[in-house]
Structure 1
């Protein structure tokens, strides 16, 4: 038996509270209940996935750090010293680090190897990758998500690491929204005005190089190895009817691509926060979604998605355990 939208809403409305008094927690509980289609909803084995990849366009110095920092941060993740490690330990996420294609190949028992290369090509002058690399990346993620699902996970959080990946994300969103680079390019984690102008010009060159609304072609030309695998993870998790917690701008760009491939994915997506990147709010508005949090975050690495877990758990708790008016013999 499928629970209808009306039945789930009625269950929420009849809790011992004024209608709508729990705000976005109510809509979140409803979303989870519609996805899971069970009397008792749950968050099981919540898994945070951080996809890392390097970008050819970073050679122009349009980020606050050189590409080598991607590898250094992946090492930091693996040694437990990054913000996402702290948040995951505190909040209860199981953390997975995926090498999608960083400059230096690392060897660590906790690192998941899904490398598509060392670095994408410079998108301002050539396609980021081959079509075969796109297809392989999506398949890698499908296999990873299927394994997590078979192990009992029903909720994933998605994050990323990659010097230069706000450039790739901005290019993807500009191509899909058919906007000039200047409207979607931002300061990333904190570049100066000169870097911002160069970044905008390079991304506009990338956009001028292609003329297509085919999202796979856009992904091949403008994407990053980590963005491709984020798209694959979203598609696979939706197929498995898992909740998918979307982090900031880069992950949202991947969600935008996934939604163009399969609009039905939307029901499984929870947008954790609205970052300081100027394009993020525009893309969220385009998708007609409201983020749970607005904390002026601009770190990436899944930090905003991680912070959403207590809200998911709180929604589950009130939906399952809060008394109804009829339990108390109250009639209104």
Structure 2
């Protein structure tokens, strides 16, 4: 079977010929089709899934957009590297290798297992000035693509995205506001845990940021409002698409990165597998804009790639469906 002959109809015919009622595995069959078409293989593989966890800080935290101080980003990176965060526990449970990447944490970090891709000590305050320069935005996208390329070179069949960055739900809301597009109030949520007063403060900061710039072109929107970790995740999707590698997209912030990636390069939408519908306000709308059907709906809103990790076994099962299941003809013909 050549790549040019690999079509959805061919893959579905193979699934329908298996030793079970046609269509009996519902969304798993759809996922198997997606994997085959992304990898351009009649028997896709998802044995080796790699989580790329990008961390970065945001100048927007100066406006009080988060219930937590920026120092929590650095503390959580240390927790990832110690193997004690929720993402680490989930990754071990589902057999996923995790790579932690410093995209722009506002601290000097050093650890043998930390990938140093630091763009700076956090972005600028997007409520007052562009979060990133044009050159920084270009470089962050390129560094993200390079991380995806390196993971595939290390043998990853599928990538998963995760993030850590205090204030990044605010950045993601601004990106959604301009790129969906959607009303700002429809893009905002409690993030890591705001009360009513905190949410009002966050909204005021986002309004100031939105009023400061009228950017609508995707690259400019990313420069004005994005984060180093968000830009690198968008770049990672581009890099994965160039290598026909599926990407499991986590929650609200990762989906904002996917929205950026797709607005910059529409053809890269084909590699995105959306793990879950998070509890963060705006995520359901953003998934709708991307014509995405999430695999799970578990009321998650942690980030870190946790939703992508929970979805990883479903992706593996879908790949196995096309590689390991006998056809009805083989069963009835005694050819097993």
Q: Normalising by structure 1, what TM-score?
A: 0.96
Pairwise CA distance, 1:315: 0.9
Which secondary structure does the structure 1 equivalent of 2:14 belong to?
A: helix
1:27: which partner in 2? Answer: 30
User: Is structure 2 residue 251 aligned with structure 1 residue 248?
Assistant: yes
2:319: which partner in 1? Answer: 316
Number of corresponding residues: 330
Pairwise CA distance, 1:44: 4.1
1:200 to 198, 203, 209: 203
- Are the aligned partners of 1:171 and 1:203 in contact in 2 as well (CA < 8 Å)? yes
Pairwise CA distance, 1:143: 2.0
Pairwise CA distance, 1:189: 2.0
User: Is structure 2 residue 163 aligned with structure 1 residue 160?
Assistant: yes
- Are the aligned partners of 2:56 and 2:73 in contact in 1 as well (CA < 8 Å)? yes
Which secondary structure does the structure 2 equivalent of 1:50 belong to?
A: strand
Pairwise CA distance, 1:168: 0.0
Q: CA 1:178–1:142 in structure 2 vs 1: closer, same or farther (change >3 Å)?
A: closer
Unmatched 5+ stretches in structure 2: none
Which secondary structure does the structure 2 equivalent of 1:250 belong to?
A: helix
Pairwise CA distance, 1:163: 0.4
- Are the aligned partners of 2:249 and 2:274 in contact in 1 as well (CA < 8 Å)? yes
Unmatched 5+ stretches in structure 1: none
Pairwise CA distance, 1:13: 1.4
Which secondary structure does the structure 1 equivalent of 2:282 belong to?
A: helix
Pairwise CA distance, 1:87: 0.8
2:94: which partner in 1? Answer: 91
CA distance in 2, matches of 1:33, 1:183: 35
Pairwise CA distance, 1:125: 1.3
- Are the aligned partners of 1:44 and 1:152 in contact in 2 as well (CA < 8 Å)? no
1:48: which partner in 2? Answer: 51
- Are the aligned partners of 1:181 and 1:201 in contact in 2 as well (CA < 8 Å)? no
- Are the aligned partners of 1:44 and 1:154 in contact in 2 as well (CA < 8 Å)? yes
Which secondary structure does the structure 2 equivalent of 1:212 belong to?
A: coil
Pairwise CA distance, 1:134: 0.6
The two structures, once aligned, show a CA RMSD in angstroms of 1.3
Structure 1 ranges of 4+ moved more than 4 A: none
CA distance in 2, matches of 1:138, 1:286: 22
User: Is structure 2 residue 310 aligned with structure 1 residue 307?
Assistant: yes
1:106 to 98, 106, 109: 109
User: Is structure 2 residue 16 aligned with structure 1 residue 13?
Assistant: yes
- Are the aligned partners of 1:180 and 1:204 in contact in 2 as well (CA < 8 Å)? no
- Are the aligned partners of 1:165 and 1:250 in contact in 2 as well (CA < 8 Å)? yes
- Are the aligned partners of 1:99 and 1:112 in contact in 2 as well (CA < 8 Å)? yes
1:140 to 134, 143, 147: 143
1:265: which partner in 2? Answer: 268
